[in-house]
Amino acid sequence: MVNAQFRAMHHRSVKYLQLVMVLAAVFFVLPLQAKVVIDFDPNLDFSRYKTFTFIGSVENLVAIEINPEMIEDPLHHAVARELDKRGLHEVGLEEKPDLVVRYWINSSGQLDVARAGEWGQYSAYVDGYWSFVFETVGTGGKKESVLIIDLIDAKAKSLAWRLYSVGKPASPDKEGKRIEVEVSKGLENYPPSAKALEDKKQERAAHPPKS
């Protein structure tokens, strides 16, 4: 009888320990598994983009309480690394780059804030054909953080490509790693393939800009 009770207690303890280990693994991994959504202009020839410059963030839209350097430094490094792999090279703004890289952060429930604010010489690009994905991403939970990275055609001053990374912010010591993982995931299919370009054209045809 005692042995049976001991075995039952031991079995419950093992199950409890397994549950704790699973939950710990989930909470440890979750910050690195954000949802990544890509949008781009399917009418562009992405092969003509050879250089880029990084201009940092839209300051008035950074809404998480974290040292900006913990976001900007790893993000800049990750974007530069991934674009360099694809044959693009970082240059200074005075060298008239083909692309300008910008980022901004907010909660998905507050994405409409982008319609206001000071954006300088480049717009927020949340209307026209860009509005469908922008508003789709904005329907997520209000407790989520949205990191948006824009690749802007510097000469045309038009948006070429955009990455949305949606998820719960990681702790400060893990935020840099989270950003690197999401940038790598988002840029793994840059430039868009011929099929991706065609699929995007069909998507935009099915969701024309609102009048």
Cβ-contact 195, 89 below 8 angstroms: no
The pLDDT assigned to 110 comes to 60
The pLDDT assigned to 70 comes to 66
12 φ/ψ sector (left φ>0, alpha ψ -120 to 50, else beta): alpha
Residues 55 and 121 occupy one common structural domain: yes
The pLDDT assigned to 140 comes to 59
Cβ-contact 137, 90 below 8 angstroms: no
Residue 154 belongs to a domain: yes
Residues 25 and 49 occupy one common structural domain: no
Place of tokens 């393939």: 193
Residue 184 belongs to a domain: yes
* pLDDT band, residue 146 (cuts 50/70/90): confident
Task: Identify the domain containing residue 15 by its residue range.
Answer: 1-32
Residues 96 and 66 occupy one common structural domain: yes
Residue 20 scores a pLDDT above 70: no
Q: Of all residues in the chain, what percent carry a pLDDT higher than 90?
A: 46
> Across residues 5-11, what is the average pLDDT?
49
Residues 190 and 88 occupy one common structural domain: yes
96 φ/ψ sector (left φ>0, alpha ψ -120 to 50, else beta): left
pTM more than 0.85: no
Residue 42 belongs to a domain: yes
Residues 136 and 151 occupy one common structural domain: yes
> Across residues 57-72, what is the average pLDDT?
60
Residues 99 and 202 occupy one common structural domain: yes
Residues 82 and 165 occupy one common structural domain: yes
What are the backbone dihedrals phi and psi of residue 149, each rounded to the nearest 5 degrees, phi first? Answer: -115, 125
Range of 6-15, 43-52, 119-128, 202-211 with top mean pLDDT: 43-52
Q: Provide the token pair at 87.
A: 């044959």
Helix, strand, or coil (residue 44): coil
The pLDDT assigned to 190 comes to 96
Residue 63 scores a pLDDT above 50: no
* DSSP designation for 86: T
Residues 104 and 169 occupy one common structural domain: yes
Residue 62 belongs to a domain: yes
Count how many domains the chain has: 2
Residues 1 and 66 occupy one common structural domain: no
> Across residues 16-42, what is the average pLDDT?
54
98 CB neighbour count, 10 Å cutoff:
19
Residue 155 belongs to a domain: yes
Q: No. of H helices and E strands in the chain?
A: 5, 6
* pLDDT band, residue 69 (cuts 50/70/90): low
CATH of the domain at 158: 3.30.160.670
The pLDDT assigned to 30 comes to 33
Of the listed ranges 89-98, 126-135, 136-145, the least confidently predicted one is 136-145
In angstroms, rounded to a whole number, what is the distance separating the alpha carbons of residues 41 and 210?
17
Residues 21 and 104 occupy one common structural domain: no
Cβ-contact 52, 90 below 8 angstroms: yes
Residue 211 belongs to a domain: no
The pLDDT assigned to 210 comes to 76
Q: Alpha helix locations (H) across 53-120? A: 69-85
Residues 11 and 61 occupy one common structural domain: no
* DSSP designation for 133: H
Residue 178 belongs to a domain: yes
Residue 58 belongs to a domain: yes
Residues 12 and 88 occupy one common structural domain: no
